[in-house]
Chain A
């Protein structure tokens, strides 16, 4: 009998010891990338007709799949709200989180997470009904403010109102949809969120033209992909997937000319596309990983214009998200 007990305890302990292989090996074995997204945010990740996901964040997931598996469609999307997202990544439910998540010191250091880059430089703004006659965020003393819980937004708005000596009433909800619905029903005067989201959420309102986004931007919100700490190989892959998209734009490689560019004499282009050098091997990927990203998903500029650019309903200028050569902040360390 005691033998049985010993055996069962040993068995239990064994289960506990089953080592987790690296995320790269796991992903290759599964054949898909487990990617956390919002799923309800126009321009970043939303379901369009036919149940297909679309957006900047979705393209981030697809780029990782293209780099790792050679096929951008091999992604398993997990829709997460702001409260769930970090826990889902910590617990291993997803392997990478590309869900307009702000890179902050606390998140980067104390939560066992690593930010792999910035795919969108954002800042927090305010949207109000036009008929309130408000022209500046400084006139919002005493207003009720609709916010999504579990976001840096909630802290920024508190800081902003405190810094300006104004009172406000916070009305916080779990999901963006409930935030928009309550704002629309008049529960609050102001909807606050990252400016990019405000433009996106405005497209969901019935009377879009009666709402304006106030000029003040009250915070820095660098949004980027997040991975678990402790798997540097996977961290590098995600980081250089996003760098590759920026580098490709800088080098003039697009999804259309990627094949022609394979024959380019430019050494930078050659290294990015894997014709020369061991960039892919350094990451444990195929030599053509960046070629696959650009060919199947596009370079950073293409992804931006396709999802949120001036020709989309969101109508957002490149602004901070232009390449560093054009006055923006998007900058990839060299491929060498």
Chain B
């Protein structure tokens, strides 16, 4: 082989294999971690609500930011933060829409829990019976709360119980 050809062959081989290893690693690592993170675009969804209506995120985003709160009645921090969430939702004049996405429970269970609360929850409670939305957002622990601004960008995310300050921060984030 001519010296020039030799160099081309060597460099091409090295670069090609390195690139293939890189691409494979990328696919390998990215497949496990398709989690919606801060800075990502939101994933639109449409769910039935407890009241029998249908809620669609993209429709809401036309007018205001949206907070998603993934919860279950069996999850203690979820139960505890819900009254505060309702309180502040009203205090801020519902400038930001709140969707509490219940993961996989029956209406009976949800109603039973709601009836035990001192007051009525005014935000939307959506039913993710098949876990489609939970899976799409790759929700791990509950509660998980996500703030989406009007541009459809995830601005804030928290995977632990919300304090009142946290909720205020989420409402403000969704208004950005």
A binds B: no
Q: Report B's interface with A, CB cutoff 8 A.
A: none
